[in-house]
Amino acid sequence: MDRDGTEPEAPLEGPGQAPEAAGRIFGDRLPLAVRYTELLATAGVQRGLIGPREVPRLWDRHVLNCAVLAELLPAEVSLCDVGSGAGLPGIPVALARPDVSVTLLEPLLRRTTFLEEVVRELGLENVTVLRGRAEEMVGKLGVDVVTARAVAPLDRLAGWGMPLLRPYGQMLALKGDTAEQELVESRAALTRLGAVKWSVIGVGEGVLVTPTRVVRVEAGESPGGVKAATRRARAARAGRGGKGGEGAGRRGGSRGRR
């Protein structure tokens, strides 16, 4: 009992040893995946990127759950992980597929700082960290695959992610139990954004106890309404700049607080 008469909280468990499935997914890069999981459990928790109660289930619920997206990727594609946060799913995918070029796109400074430290420590030559929002990257960044996890409802996510796709690219969104309902509600938006096919699929079957549920949206020849999205992004940037010093000061100040 503590001096104030309260019972001390029991220490939370660590991430534990890597499960057998991790070896099957990461192969000879398993030591890097182990180190990444350790960083999530320590620095990730300390900086508020991972909840402390998630630590005991980091492997199953987070790292492996994301890494199996690698099953859906063709060889040597480029990928942008929108709203990457602590690097999920981008870093597990990059570890499982060193042939894939991964961009971790994240607007918050404290998160990009963590991501840069992880990439540097793990020596991930196939990963780039980019600070910014998806709508700011339209016309600047084009990739074959966009991924996202717990970022936004599907229709809003598609509005951010589809304009970043090259022709015939795909967006992969981890969605869990809400996948089918979100897909039904987002069909009009997906069609407007240039999607030609969409489905809910399970990945990691035979590897994970519970397969990962993914919404896969496949783009046509002109995904995302790129020209219109580019105009909107330019107008938004011009509008912010047109407010002069006061607007610029607010933007800079908000970044400083992140």
- Domains for the chain: give ranges and CATH numbers: 69-238 (3.40.50.150)
Surface-to-core class of residue 56, CB atoms within 10 Å of its CB (0-12 exposed, 13-18 middle, 19+ buried)? middle
The reported pTM is: 0.82
- Nearest residue to 217 via CA among 82, 23, 29: 82
Please tell me the predicted confidence (pLDDT) of residue 35.
98
CA distance readout (Å), 13 to 9, 10, 17, 21, 54 = 12, 9, 11, 20, 9
Pair of tokens at residue 162: 């589809």
- One digit per residue, the tens of pLDDT, for the chain of length 258 reads 444 555 544 445 678 889 999 999 999 999 999 999 999 999 999 999 999 999 999 999 999 999 999 999 999 999 999 999 999 999 999 999 999 999 999 999 999 999 999 999 999 999 999 999 999 999 999 999 999 997 889 999 999 999 999 999 999 999 988 899 999 999 999 999 999 999 999 999 999 999 999 999 999 998 865 444 454 455 545 555 544 433 333 333 333 333
Please indicate if the annotation marks 149 as binding a ligand.
yes
Strands (E), 29-155: 78-82, 101-106, 127-131, 143-149
Please indicate if the annotation marks 41 as binding a ligand.
no
* C-alpha span between 139 and 157 (Å, rounded): 17
Please indicate if the annotation marks 23 as binding a ligand.
no
